[in-house]
Structure formats: C-alpha cells, structure tokens
Structure 1
Amino acid sequence: MKYQIIPVTPFQQNCSVIWCEKTLKAAVVDPGGNIDRILAEVTKLGLHVEKILLTHGHIDHVGAAAALSKQLAVPIIGPHIADKFWLDNLVKQSQNFGFPRVEAFEPSQYLNDGDEVNVGEQHLQVLHCPGHTPGHIVFYDKKDSLAWVGDVLFRGSIGRTDFPESNHQDLLHSITTKLWPLGQNINFIPGHGPMSTFADERQNNPFVADQLFD
C-alpha cells in the first residue's frame, strides 16, 4: 500500500491518502479538516478516491469526512458502532474544540473486529482496539507490515483516556493483545506525530514497553 501523510487541523492530525499502486484506487483515512489540501494531494498523485476510512469519532479525525464524502460521492467506512455517540455529538465537539461547525453524520458502514477493507487490489484488516474511544479501530496492511493506528499508540506515548467512555486498562489491553501479536517489524502511522515501529515502542515506550509487563 502506498501512502501520503497530510497533517490537517490545528491539532496536526495525520490524515493519510492511501492507494493501490496497480489500480490507483485510493482511500482517505481520517480526514479531520483541510479538504482543499487533501484534494490537492489526490489530484497531484493522479488517484481515484473510492472511500473514506475512519479510525474513531473524534472531530480532528472526522471533521471533514461528511463534506468530502459528499464532494467525491464516496462512502464513509468505520469506525466501530461503539463510537456512534461521538459522531452524533459532532456539533458539541465543534464548539468544545473551537472547530468550524460540523454536523452529525452516519457512516455508510460501521466496522467490526476481523473485517477486511479493500483499496483497489490491496487489503486492510480491521482490528477493534477500544480504550482511547470505545469504538476505535486500527487498519492493518499485512502485506506491507504497516498499520494506521489512529490515537491508540504514538511514538513514545499512548492515547488519552480522559474522555467519556475512555478506559486506560482497555487501551493497554488493546495495544498488548491486538497490536503486539502482529509482529515486531510493523511500521505504524499514528494519529499525530512521527511514525514508529512496534519494536521501538515495545522497547522504549514508557507506557507499554515489554519490561512493564514482565
């Protein structure tokens, strides 16, 4: 899977344009805002966007999803239905975080653990990883050892768990039982900040390093 990271919103959220190199069919992962910037990159790369993928329902990840879906006439896929309350509450999220008003929307499809999403001829596995939000999911490209983890895991940190229905122990459980078994050599794109690998985080992350669980 090819990808281009596009930081969006004042939170510098890592929106990704991902695509199948053979077909040039693409998806946009977590379009939190800055539609013009996203579309400019799509045009520059000569891609055909066929869907929007969401890891979870926080506004910096979904703020531009409905508008982009309408403009491109493509479906919104994800997150897990347990994050429906976040999507239903987008007007209040807009106000709370100082974003332009975003209306509530319903995805074309919610996702479950074990589902698969196709982008052209490429395949992404879906892992339900609650903790930061109850309906957070991760997209995993097994072929290229690459994962889009949203706000579950960061380089040197983990997702916040001080939001409604967040749970710190659930987050630790998701990371150690859903992500680590994928392998040490997995590169991951977090929702914010630089990429890292599961191996580096298992060795150095002060929240989930292996030595903490020995």
Structure 2
Amino acid sequence: MLRYLTIPVTPFAQNCSLVWCDETQDAALIDPGGGLPELKAAVARLGLKLTALWLTHAHIDHAGGTGQLARELGLPIIGPHPGDQFWIDGLAQQSKMFGFPPAEPFTPSRWLADGDTVALGKTEVLVRHCPGHTPGHVVFFHAGAQRCFVGDVLFAGSIGRTDFPGGDHDTLIASITQRLWPMGDDTVFIPGHGPESSFGRERRTNPYVSGT
C-alpha cells in the first residue's frame, strides 16, 4: 500500500510529498522544491530508501531543489510532461525572479504522458496529464489508497493560477472535470499548497468548479 508524508518547503509553503511502498520501503519525493536537509532527514527518520524524484510541474517552488538532490543522491527525475520543458529551461530565471536559491539545471530521466504508470516498490501509481496551470502538468493517482497528488491543479476552495506563461483557464477546468472527477468523490487529494480535501467536497463547495 502507498503511504505518504506531506512536508511544506520553500517560502511558498509548497507541499512536497514523501511517498513510499509500505512493503518494500522504497520511496519517492514529489516536487522537492527546496528544504533539502529537511527532506533528507525525513527519509532517514522513517528508514526509507529514496529511489526517485517525481515532478508534477516545473515551477520553481516545486522543482527548485530537484537538480541538486538528484545529483547528490544519484536519483532519476521522473516527469513532468514535455510541455514543461520551457519552465525547466527557465529555472535559473525563476530563481532570481522569486528570490529563491539558484536552481541547478536538470534533464528529466523520464518524461511522463497521460496514462503512464510509475512504479514504487510493489505498487504502481497512475499518471494523468492535467494541463492548464502549466502545459506539462501531471498528477499522480493511487486508486488503492484513494489519494491523488495534484500539484497546483486544484486546491481546497480554489484552483490553480492560469496567468503564467502557458496557462489557460478553460484547459484547467477541463483537466479537473475530465481527469480528476472520474477518480471518485471519495478520493482525497494533496494539493501543492494548503490543506487536503476530497474531489467530492470540491465538486460541492468550490466556487470555481462546483456543479461541474
């Protein structure tokens, strides 16, 4: 079964998720945007074996620490979708713009596409391409655990911004309604910022997508 721990990192309080297979203790970090000493300490404290870094998208608060961590620990970088290549190319500029430490450049070991799966120990996680916040945004869904790691697609009571380069509001709404809602109302999602919620709760109460 999939287990996880949410660790807020960076001045933007970005929810980095440490996920692992409770049978093998193989683990991955989703969106290691910063706070690398804290992330490594959490892995060690739980006795896990970190095997990969997964990215939902390549904004600085989600991807800023990825290159350094991959280099230090010899880890593959999985994701996002190739649509975010230009955001990866611009990480240094993003660092300066938002006052982040310089981000090391990287090339993903594997790009992701809609319908792909990523292995973690003896469990598999489904990838869905959910553009709109960024063109290459993906989410990670584990049906058995009824959990979805959605990055900045959807939040409790809100949705992702679409005013950055490559963002599109209509595309984001389509991603939410066509890719996320079919995962089921009882599925709990872990957003890139803020508290968890469920897809059912957001369908009922989120003013941006209620009734969709």
TM-score band by shorter chain is over 0.9
Write the letter of the residue equivalent to 1:75: P
Aligned to 1:203: 204
User: SS in structure 2 opposite 1:28?
Assistant: strand
Are 2:65 and 2:104, in contact at CA under 8 Å, matched by a contact in 1?
Answer: no
Q: Which runs of 5+ in 1 are unaligned?
A: none
Tell me by how many angstroms 1:71 deviates.
1.5
- The one-letter code of the counterpart of 1:169 is D
Q: Does 1:48 align with 2:73?
A: no
Q: CA deviation at 1:122?
A: 1.2
Match of 1:62 in 2: 63
Look up the match of 1:155: 156
CA deviation after TM superposition for structure 1 residue 102, in Å: 1.1
- Describe the SS at the equivalent of 1:173: helix
After TM superposition, list the pairs within 5 Å mapping 1:54-93 onto structure 2.
54-93=55-94
Superposition map of 1:6-17 within 5 A: 6-17=7-18
1:107 has 2:113 as partner = no
Query: How many residues end up aligned between the 2 structures?
Result: 211
Aligned to 1:181: 182
- Aligned AA for 1:74? L
Paired residue secondary structure (1:52)? strand
Shift of 1:103: 3.1
Work out the CA distance in 1 between the residues paired with 2:198 and 2:183.
11
Q: CA deviation at 1:104?
A: 2.5
Which whole-Å CA distance do the structure 1 matches of 2:20 and 2:146 have between them?
15
Partner of 2:139: 138
Contact 2:141 2:149 in 1 (8 A): yes
The CA deviation at 1:45 is 0.2
TM-score under structure 2 normalisation? 0.98
Q: Deviating runs (4+, > 2 A) in structure 1? A: none
